[in-house]
Amino acid sequence: MSFAVIQMVSQDDIAANLLQARRLLEQAAAGGARLAVLPENFSALGRRDAAALGRQEASGEGPVLPWLRSAARELGLWIVAGTLPLPPRDEPDGKPRACSLLVDEHGEFVARYDKLHLFDVDVSDSRGRYRESDDYAHGGQIVVADTPVGRLGLTVCYDLRFPELYGALREAGAELITAPSAFTRVTGAAHWEVLIRARAIETQCYLLAAAQGGIHPGGRETHGHSLIVDPWGRKLAEYAEGEAMLLAERDAGEQVAIRERMPVLRHKRFFAAAEPRQPDVETL
């Protein structure tokens, strides 16, 4: 029931990034992990040719998908492939999605999650303006899949700010949730850990948060601090900056006990939104 989280400092050189990722995946497999999570944009960060890269991969001419298949097969490892650009399945020339792929130990693609929430935000850092929707289109559905370490829900980075997504994954049976990310240094310092731990506590799931952690092309700086958090909100592993492999185990019995002692899913109540109105002074 062991799993690993990989932290990287990806650049715009795909071949170099894949070499780095392979080395860290080998460490995960040697440590006994059955599943490993790569960070967002693990194969390239800082490039602006997402559409071209996505079309190349979808046509079978790109380097990343064959690399994923062979790495999973040769290492006997399930891999959550952070994100990479891929066009919609039914629209090969369409705007790419930021896809998180789940690959099994035989090198077969088991699931694909297209990132729902895109990072269109102004940040007080050296870059200042982020508009992910310039390069990507939104996804449209949640994804869960069975793995050797439990039922896995897939999310990506900015999704962490939308707890309703995580609640839906829990209701769909998720026991672990992945969050490959590339948080900025500014937003990460302010919100990263509290969001990861909150989503774990709310859903009573393990959160596997694989981050980018360093300086990238164009002066972009990412926060790092990859985390593995258990269903009680405890940090099982963390690494600040630079590349790293974090390893932890799922205690399925304890997770069941936590959910039985505090059955939040059964306690959930639905309510109608209130109509906006001026307060009635006489009832205050």
Name residues whose C-beta falls within 8 Å of residue 139's C-beta, 6 or more positions apart in sequence.
Answer: 97, 98, 113, 114, 115, 116
**Among 57, 99, 132, 157, the one annotated catalytic:** 157
Domain extent at residue 120 = 1-263
Torsional class of 271: left (φ above 0), alpha (ψ -120 to 50), beta (otherwise):
beta
Write the single-letter amino acid at 187: T
The yes-or-no answer on residue 95 being catalytic is no
Domain assignment present for residue 269? The answer is no
The one-character DSSP state at 218 is G
CATH of the domain at 247: 3.60.110.10
pLDDT exceeds 80 at position 155: yes
Residue 104 has pLDDT above 80, yes or no: yes
Instruction: Tell me how many domains the chain contains.
Output: 1
Q: Does 65 fall in a domain?
A: yes
Q: What are 78's strand-pairing partners?
A: 35
Single out the catalytic residue among 105, 115, 132, 221.
Answer: 115
Residue 271 included in any domain? no
Percent of the chain with pLDDT over 90: 87
Judged against a pLDDT cut of 90, whether residue 282 lies above it is answered with no
Q: Which of 40, 57, 221, 238 is catalytic?
A: 40
Task: Work out the number of other CB atoms within 10 angstroms of the CB of residue 71.
Answer: 22
Q: 3-state class of 24 per DSSP?
A: helix
Task: Say if residue 281's pLDDT is above 60.
Answer: no
Q: What is the pLDDT of residue 272?
A: 84
Task: Provide the greatest CA pair distance for the chain.
Answer: 73
Q: Please indicate, yes or no, if residue 84 is contained in any of the structural domains.
A: yes
178 three-state secondary structure:
strand
- Whether 284 has a pLDDT exceeding 50, the answer reads no
In a domain, 8, yes or no: yes
Q: In whole numbers, what is the pLDDT of the chain averaged over residues?
A: 95
Nearest in space to 267 (alpha carbons), one of 214, 218, 202: 202
In sequence order, what are the residues at sequence separation of 6 or more whose Cβ sits closer than 8 angstroms to the Cβ of residue 93? 55, 87
Question: Does residue 23 lie within any of the structural domains?
Answer: yes
Is 1 inside a domain boundary?
yes
**What 8-state DSSP symbol labels residue 191?**
I
Residue 12 clears pLDDT 80, i.e. is over it: yes
Give the residues across from 37 on adjacent strands: 5, 80
- 235 catalytic residue (yes or no): no
pLDDT, residue 91, reads 85
pLDDT tens-digit profile of 226-273?
A: 999 999 999 999 999 999 999 999 999 999 999 999 999 999 888 888
**Token digits of residue 187:** 């937003």
| Residue 39, token pair as written in the block | 């960070």
Q: Which residues are bridge partners to 206 per DSSP?
A: 176
279 confidence band (pLDDT: 50, 70, 90)? low
| 3-class SS string, 25-65 | HHHHHHCCCCEEECCCCCCCCCCCCHHHHHHHHHCCCCCHH
Whether residue 108 lies inside any domain: the answer is yes
Active site residue 40: yes
